[in-house]
Structure 1
Amino acid sequence: MAPRKLAAGNWKMNGTLASLAQIDQLLADAVPGCDVLICPPATLIHAVAAKGIATGGQDCHANASGAHTGDIAAAQLKDAGASHVILGHSERRTDHAETDAQIAAKSVAAHEAGLIAVICVGETETQRDSGATLDVISAQLAGSVPDCATAANTVIAYEPVWAIGTGRTPTDAQIAEVHALMRERLSERFADGADFSLLYGGSVKPGNAAEIFAIAHVNGALVGGASLKAADFAPIVAALSAA
């Protein structure tokens, strides 16, 4: 199999039932030649999935059940209609001090529940400025991606922390360098490493999507704010479809 094109929208802690109108509009406007995924807050997973669009959670617990107030098990996401789950997003790594080992354990739980894990990696501005980007990405891939990962059950998203929600975007050369490294590391470790879908995330918007999707080894995007409105997300989906 070749890497599948995926346009994934991460709604983060945004959206209510009224936001479902954006899903209706997206389904009406977008003529996708790629996979489209929406990851709403947990309160909307069932309702979004009912619209007939691929739906994902934004996190899951590593355990299948238990006394973990406020957490959600991977099997519960699956039961609500999810097919994917985002794991290791920089906001989880920062706000909740998640480690690579915890993310790997959550990924195993996701796989066991039949979910596709969208595992995020990315460097901070300090790490970028110090020249440590490739070392950071290599370490995160090694520690966060479990041995049971395959191209069928795992997607890797590169999101430079300093570009998320800031309007700043790495140069094409910087994105290409990291995506080439990820492809190399995955191919070294996994028999189907050449087939993993690699997403770029960080201030992706209609105006820069086509340029980003033309970069080698970029198979799609993990989109934050621009995924909240169909008018912004549909052109990104169209750009990926045309890439």
Structure 2
Amino acid sequence: MVNEYELSVKYLKENFNYKNFCKELDLLVDLRLKDEELWRLAPEITRYIVYHSLFNRLFKFNIIQEVGNETKEDIEWENNQNKIDLDYFDKKNLKLRKWMFNKLCKGTLFEEINSNFKLIYQFPMSSYESLIFSKFNKRYYYFSFLPSYDDSYTKAITDVASCIHRVSNYFDTKLSKKEFFDKILEEHRRGGSLLIKGRDDFLFEDINNENLNYWHLLSYDNFDEDAWDAQGEDERIKMKKKGLIK
């Protein structure tokens, strides 16, 4: 780890090791295939951005060290990581975390930090789903970003320390917008959830425009059950006028 650093936008842009970061993303996706529960315990992706601006080795969260088998390097890494986390979550670095939050909402965080990355698609819904291209390894990464809200659930907490930010998958060929959205629908189904018309529609509304529904627009024929009949005749008439059901 570097001896002197500052957690600032300028420092991250100047020191971010995007190649190691992408290798870390690959390891995390591979971990999900082997152990999804462990994958969910991994640090948020925004923290990996910080780690790979300060360290020259991979974090390798996908490798579980058995108790007593840690190397000196492993112990040193863990101690340094704990130190960085304390610094990162300190209120003095709230400005950086707010900046990250705002850029994630726009889908431009990775592009802002390093020109290796390019935003392909972003769907700002109840969760923000984005496809980001990495130029050096020609790989497309699927990220999910879920903000936290205040007690009234009307105002987002604009601090990435309160959010969930994960890499869900990667692809070696570019997906069309519909193909990517179908991957988002696959994520909804993970764990046995059904995709039900008339129940789940609100999940796919644009966060800033409730009249824009990406599921309706791109893939409304991709569903498991149709519950519009149970919504009542008035609601069904509204949906027919919008051309969403027959």
TM (norm. structure 1) is 0.25
- Of the two structures, which has the highest relative contact order with CA contacts closer than 8 Å and spacing of 6 or more? 1
**Bigger radius of gyration among the two:** 2
